[in-house]
Structure 1
Amino acid sequence: MKNTSSDIEEYLVNVPEERKEAFKKLIETISENLPSGFEQGKSSGMIAWQVPLETYPDGYHCTPGSPLPFLNLASQKNFIALYHMGIYADPELLDWFVSEFPKHSSRKLDMGKSCIRFKKVDDIPYELIGELVQKVSPQQWISLYEKLYKK
């Protein structure tokens, strides 16, 4: 479900009622734990945390002139999705997350390359998400991004 809201408050208005509280708590968890230097905004119809152009003027190679994406949060048709580019780019971080997840949730981990899907809002491991987002600073993300993706 692509949300085309122009700002975050409008986006939240359009999140289904049964997910709204969990969605807000995820925003809060991410915002409180993410290292300083990322900025919150909107990207690709989702709530985003990104490296601003002031910090990384080269921006995102796929969309020149736009901030470097790092995290996105979306309310999809059947789940809440957390897109974490660090998990996609760093196998050690992915391994850490996969091994930690069962310690924080009785549910089976449901994820793609960078997308962690939460179908049941009662099973979202907020503490683990907080730990995950603490693990990569903007400078670390820029270095990894340049090493892996920038030509």
Structure 2
Amino acid sequence: MNEIREYEEKIDSKWQESYLKLAKIVADNIPEGFELQMQYGFPTYVVPLSVYPEGYLHRSDEPLPFISLAAQKRHLALYHMGIMGNKKLLEWFQEAYKEQVPTKLNMGKSCIRFTNPEKIPYELIGELVTKMSMEEWINAYQKYSVAKKTSK
């Protein structure tokens, strides 16, 4: 956890308060079983190897990532891996975002970017985090992995 604390202390003052609030929302709403650790340079909630020993991309030393938080130079980012292959969840989030936030959604495959610290829908993010259990994420990841292998 020292690595995470050090990461948070280095966040630019423009983003630090919003980042910490976002991190608390995620921590308060993350389903049971996920563990917080540094992965790929960001605080990340992962499926522990004790639960999913195959690991991410079949790397037995790398836990399966689920949600990461990052403070970039021009935005905060929440990476929600489960939203990428779950059309129903993605559509729900896009609609709810549109209803609650006046600015356009800035999003990649799994990355939700917040470029204005005043326009972060914390409650919506909290709700998004609750919508996929660890078991559901593992199942979705396995289906995605198999589908990707067979399409090669």
- Mark yes or no: TM-score above 0.5: yes
> TM-score range with shorter-chain normalisation?
over 0.9
**Larger helix percent:** 2
User: Which of 21, 30, 34 is residue 30 of structure 2 equivalent to?
Assistant: 34
Question: What is the aligned counterpart of 1:13 among 9, 18, 21?
Answer: 9
Q: Matched residues in 2 for 1:106 and 1:63: separation? A: 41
**Corresponding residue for 1:99?**
95
TM-score normalised over the length of structure 1: 0.93
Give runs of ≥4 in structure 1 deviating > 6 Å.
none
Deviations 1:5-24 (A, max 9, x none): x7100001110011111000
Unaligned runs of 5+ in 1: 1-5
Q: For 1:17-65, what per-residue CA distance to the aligned partner results, in whole angstroms no more than 9, with x for missing partners?
A: 1111100001100010011100011111111011000111111116442
Deviation of residue 110 (structure 1)? 0.5
Give aligned-pair identity as a percent: 45
Find the aligned partners of 2:30 and 2:100 in 1 and give their Cα distance: 19
Alignment of 1:68-83 (within 5 A): 68-83=64-79
Is 1:61 the equivalent of 2:57? yes
Show the counterpart of 2:20: 24
1:7 counterpart SS class: helix
Does structure 1 retain, via aligned residues, the 8 Å contact 2:53–2:60? no
Deviation at 1:104, TM superposition (A): 1.8
Count how many residue pairs are aligned between Structure 1 and Structure 2: 146
- 1:43 maps to 39
Structure 2 residue runs of 5 or longer lacking an equivalent are none
Equivalent in the alignment of 1:3: none
